[in-house]
Amino acid sequence: MLSHVTTPQDLDDRFRETLAALPAAGRRRDPADPVSDDAPLTGAQVLDLFDAQVTSRQLDLAGRWLRGFGEGFYTIGSAGHEGNAAVAAALRPTDPALLHYRSGAFYCVRAAQAAADPASTADPQPPGSVPPGSVPPGSVPPGSVPPGSGPPGSVPPDPERPTERQSDRPAERLTERLTDPGRPIDPEQLTDSEPTDLEPAGSEPPTGGFAPYADAARDVLRGMVASRQEPIAGGRHKVFGRADLAIVPTTSTIASHLPRAVGMGLAVERLRRLDSVGRRTGVGVRVGSGAGAAAAPWPPDAIVVCSFGDASVNHASATAAFNTAGWYDHAGLRIPVLFVCEDNGLGISVRSPEGWVEATLGSRPGIRYFSADGADPVRTYAVAAEAAAWVRRNRRPAVLHLRTVRLMGHAGADAESAYRGAAELAEDLDRDPVAATARLLVDAGVASGEELLARYDETGWQVRRLAEEVLGEPKLASAADVVSALAPRRPVRVARAVADAAARAGGPGAGARAEAFGGKPPELAGPMTLAQSINAALADGMLDHPQMAIFGEDVAAKGGVYGVTKGLRDRFGAARVFDTLLDETSVLGLGLGAGLAGMLPVPEIQYLAYLHNAEDQLRGEAATMQFFSRGAFRNPMVVRVAGLAYQEGFGGHFHNDNSVAVLRDVPGLVVAVPARPDDAAPMLRTCLASAAVDGSVCVFVEPIALYHTRDLYADGDGGWLAGYPEPGAWVSGHVPIGRARVYGVGSADDLTIITFGNGVRMSLRAAAVLAEEGVGTRVVDLRWLAPLPVADIIRESSATGRVLVVDETRRSGGVGEGVIAALVDAGYVGAARRVAGVDSFVPLGPAARHVLVSAEAITDGARTLLAR
């Protein structure tokens, strides 16, 4: 009896009833023939899709079973969405995919495809169509990874490999026609021959069953029980993703992965064009930097597939992704992305208005619209193959609107009775995609209902057996285990990378460097401002990292609002230095995708205040990538942000933002704030090297008010200028992540001022005043806000026993809180005081002085501290 919530028992009972009621077919159809007269799939292929769908369904049931006795920790399932198995079958196993959390059947098919032929770039064959003599997918050791596999670029597919066709049978050739990127699809030529009834009634259907999907099932179950042996996230989360399957893990539920997909598409196409040029010249494209550069991670004609739910089309991240894809398409740049919207009509309990999803997806400029019913596997396959072929051939974005249902609610704790009635639930059960595939197989004479039920039960038994096996596997046992994959820090390798860059710049690359700088390298240009030093370091970075790209609003033709990127487009070309549309989410999404594809992106966010529009791209996407893939995937990136306050004559809270708390709170994120020109260049080199070596995500906050500052104490003294070091001095001037800089003023024995950014210049001016009063000060420039240079903080504070923390951010949630906490944690027993910005937005004009730190306030704070 159907209850007011679709329980696992309801779903299982209804499926069994459906199969038991199916009439016996009059005659058997040869499984090698098309499943119907005009079908692009054979009976055997549809049967394999059924097995993938059943595996996904049984995994959902197992998830509820595990949760029932406290051993399962994730119950969002794929029931009702199993039509995405046909979408996976229509793609190549080397097409990178970003999947939402109802993608169990897709994942099963992709795992079987990759196991059958891990390196193939040929047009897809549905799972189970294994070439004679090949290793059966089920024989791959559980959880194994093909030798040498790893992150994109480590073992690249060979685009030159001869294409392997799995059969010359008509139905197989038909599949080839559907997915041939160079041939248009004619719906009237969807069959080469009529089906024939070659087998008598009662003969056995083709074998296959659970074996091709066993490894995928084990992966998913390990995720459910948080096993540390789970090959994706190592027990940190239940995600669909594996490097050897070209599936990028994503934990996002509301489309925050879509901007990354657009960035991946842009990068894939850029690398494809570079690869084409390389082949014509006999030089293959390389991704990365220096001698260790890797080959492009995906085949040149790969497309990116990205799936999401219908409620997500309303999210700002999705809107940004669609708009960016369409914007670039309108501008003539190609982005080969296939968006797949799986529309079950609900976002937890909120319904999508009838027709809204179709209307909003179908009206996106620059994005081709396709639609299919997920309960019809043949039609879904045909449309998905057509959409994939269109994207692959035209290198342009498209969306597949796949209608689905949601069975068993949003998750285990979802009480559907609060917002859905029994009649509606029954209607969804009638559209069960697994039952629909079963009906197709029985109607076609490929299998009987009894035989399909036997396969269902066998798969259920196998899944339950695997679930019991993984229950005993170890869990993450300590905080160190949990964070081990978060953000690797290998300072020795980073320092070596800087040294290697210096050797190349001063040796074999010296000629190209001199040419890039117009015959006058920056070390010969005389003292530089902060902006000029960053510009020169960016140019040196572009010379050393062939796949580095600089992009953002106004960075190319204009050279940035403050001229920091001036001249870089002329030196390195519009393909490597380019303007983007005005949307920070998309700017970061492009960077995320480009980094994942093997590039070294350096996006610019024009003002710190604008970063807050898009900070989830850093928190939810960038910082989590290595954490949820155990380092198998990484998105190296250095985000340049013009920030902080003290601009004269150009104020207001959007252009004088001092809020960095959201950055310091992101685990694993590196936050750098260079104050002086002679720190900016080495710190930027460190960030680039760390991104290239460790896959780090760095935010390089550049103090706007110091960009063009020249003087320190008096007009004309040039005290804030510095020369640019020649390559031979890069090693001795290397600035490791998390190391501070100390300035001694006078005896430097009486007071320690800890600060950063604009606070460095103000503190040095205050220290000069104090020196005239006989007070010796050491000014500590943190330089790195995450991770904080704790060892330097403790050492320099203990040296004087008096600490003044000068924090130009806010008193609440500011950097100063972290410094004081570090002192307390270390057992510091001296005196301490803070001078910090007021908990306020920065107002316009002279009023800003009332809420920001000043040199006078620093001097007064120091005197108060010294008087204790």
- Residue 791 is classified by DSSP as H
Helix (H, G, I), strand (E, B) or coil at 178: helix
What is the four-CA torsion angle of 701, 704, 710, 711, rounded to 10 degrees?
A: -90
Residues designated as active site: 655
Beta strands per DSSP E along 529-624 = 548-552, 577-579, 600-605
Which burial class, exposed, middle or buried, applies to 211 when counting CB atoms under 10 A from its CB (0-12, 13-18, 19+)? middle
CA 849 – CA 834 distance, rounded (Å): 18
Q: How many CB atoms lie within 10 A of CB 202?
A: 8
Token pair for residue 16?
A: 């069994």
- Residue 130 is classified by DSSP as P
Greatest CA separation for the chain? 106
Helix (H, G, I), strand (E, B) or coil at 560: coil
Type of residue at 548? M
Q: Which helix (H) or strand (E) holds 810?
A: strand 802-810
CA 460 – CA 11 distance, rounded (Å): 13
CA 262 – CA 90 distance, rounded (Å): 20
Q: Among 48, 42, 39, which Cα is nearest to 29's?
A: 42
CA 336 – CA 329 distance, rounded (Å): 10
Length of the chain: 868
Residues 6+ positions from 582 with CB-CB distance below 8 Å: 553
User: Interior CA angle at 762 toward 698 and 742, to 5°?
Assistant: 60
The DSSP string of 29-50 is: --TTSBSSTT-SSBHHHHHHHH
CA Rg, the chain, in Å? 30
